[in-house]
Amino acid sequence: MQTTETAARIPLSEIVVPARPWWRLTHSQQRKLWGFAFAVPAMCFFALFSIYPIARTFYLSVFRYSVVEQPKYVGVKNFRNILGDHRFETSLINSFKYVAYTYIPVWIIALILALALNTRIRGRGVFRTIYFVPVVMSWVVVSVIWKLIFHRMGLLNTMFLHPVGIAPKNWLTSLKLAPDAIEMMSVWKEVGFFMVIFLAGLQNIPTDYYEAARVDGSTGLQLFRYITLPLLQPTILFCTVIGLVTGLQVFIPQFVMTQGGPVDATLVLTLNIYQTAFVYLDGGKAAAMSVILFFIIALVTLVQFVLYRSRGQS
């Protein structure tokens, strides 16, 4: 009783808090500092190996530069050269064609497979594993195998075309067929990846929706059109971003199978950049091409992000 009364009589202003020296951080400050410190190692790697290189690429794009000589400032000359360069135009078109002819079939096939595996049939796990195997294989190994498959006397000609009486084709040395051949291989390699992503998206759709619609007498096609497709939209957008960003940077199959040939028929953007920098030793021009590729990828990602946001709100 006595003690509480005396305690109550001391005015609050007279309670002395031991002074904290200015260099001692409060607990919450300390915690913030630790949080920041945990991010530092990763950010250092990004700064040195992502941000610095891209900044340096922007910088070099306005220089004449090769490994042997000192960089020399030339302004926008590299970009002007590129715009008049039919080889750059070819490689840009080839890259977009590769994306379209590879990923549109991939998305469609992957979605069909995902729908098929999202049913209650037996052996789903086995099929899923089999379709995913090419995804984990190295692009180099896959390209080497398919180079043999596309050989004039390889699997495709002897096993599939020969029995139906079609003369063997030179898949990788024909102007018209070489891009198709590489796209065919890429479809085979990429389908499993997108199938798994679509499958994840499908499994996220609550089954009550389907049951409710079925009670109302909807047909299978209606279920797909009015429930599956709309609810799958975030997944579809994710797949388009991933497909476009990886497809625009394709390099290994063309490098291993055709070296961009015949006559630039399979020369894609990344291969063109590589050759410009390390075969023709024109680092400035290659840097300028990289800058353009950077903006294309950024634009593609941004457009899809905006689409995603606007669809999400409506």
Partner 1 sequence: MAATSATDYVKPRRINWGHILLYVLLIAGAILILLPFAYMISTAFKNTGEVFKTPVQWIPAKLKWDNFTTPMHEHPILRWFKNSLFVAASVTLLNLLTCSLAGYSFAKFKYPGRDLLFGVVLATMMIPLAIVVKNLGWVDTYWGLIIPAGTSAFGIFLMRQQMLGIPDDLLDAARLDGCSEPRIYLGIVLPISRTALSSLAIFIFMWNWDSFFWPLLVTTDERYRTLPLGIALFESSYGTNYPQLMAVAFLAMLPVLIVFLLLQRNFIEALTMSSVKG
Long-range contacts of 112-117 (CB under 8 A, 24+ apart): 113/191, 113/195, 113/198, 114/195, 114/196, 114/198, 114/199, 114/201, 114/202, 115/198, 115/202, 115/224, 115/228, 117/195, 117/199
x-marked contacts with partner 1 along 158-197 as a string, rule CB under 8 A: xx--xx------------------------x---xx--xx
- Does the footprint of partner 1 cover residue 294 (CB under 8 A)? yes
Measured from the CB atom, the residue of 265 and 292 that comes closer to partner 1 is 292
What residues between 138 and 157 interact with partner 1 by CB under 8 A? 138-149, 151, 153-155
Q: Which of 99, 113, 244, 265 binds partner 1 (CB under 8 A)?
A: 113
Min dist. Cβ of residue 91 to partner 1 (A): 11
Q: Which of 92, 114, 244, 277 binds partner 1 (CB under 8 A)?
A: 277
- Does the footprint of partner 1 cover residue 249 (CB under 8 A)? yes
SS3 category, 175: coil
Q: Which of 25, 53, 225, 263 binds partner 1 (CB under 8 A)?
A: 53
Measured from the CB atom, the residue of 96 and 294 that comes closer to partner 1 is 294
Residue count at the site for partner 1 (CB under 8 A)?
94
Give the range of 9-17, 68-76, 79-87, 285-293 binding partner 1 by CB under 8 A. Answer: 285-293
- Does the footprint of partner 1 cover residue 79 (CB under 8 A)? no
Q: Which of 80, 204, 226, 229 binds partner 1 (CB under 8 A)?
A: 204
Spatial separation of the C-alpha atoms in residues 160 and 163, rounded to whole Å = 6
Spatial separation of the C-alpha atoms in residues 169 and 162, rounded to whole Å = 10
Torsion of CA 81, 84, 85, 88, to 10 degrees: 100
Q: Which of 45, 73, 226, 280 binds partner 1 (CB under 8 A)?
A: 45
In the chain, where does DSSP find H-type helix? 2-9, 27-46, 52-60, 77-83, 86-117, 124-136, 139-149, 155, 177-203, 207-215, 220-223, 229-231, 233-247, 252-253, 269-278, 283-313
- Does the footprint of partner 1 cover residue 221 (CB under 8 A)? no
Min dist. Cβ of residue 131 to partner 1 (A): 6
Measured from the CB atom, the residue of 100 and 296 that comes closer to partner 1 is 296
Min dist. Cβ of residue 217 to partner 1 (A): 19
Q: Which of 25, 43, 108, 212 binds partner 1 (CB under 8 A)?
A: 43
Min dist. Cβ of residue 184 to partner 1 (A): 11
Min dist. Cβ of residue 100 to partner 1 (A): 19
User: In the chain, what is the straight-line distance between the N-terminal and C-terminal CA atoms, in Å?
Assistant: 65
- Does the footprint of partner 1 cover residue 210 (CB under 8 A)? no
Min dist. Cβ of residue 176 to partner 1 (A): 23
Spatial separation of the C-alpha atoms in residues 257 and 178, rounded to whole Å = 9
Spatial separation of the C-alpha atoms in residues 178 and 173, rounded to whole Å = 6
Spatial separation of the C-alpha atoms in residues 227 and 180, rounded to whole Å = 35
Spatial separation of the C-alpha atoms in residues 285 and 280, rounded to whole Å = 10
What residues between 120 and 139 interact with partner 1 by CB under 8 A? 121, 127-134, 136-139
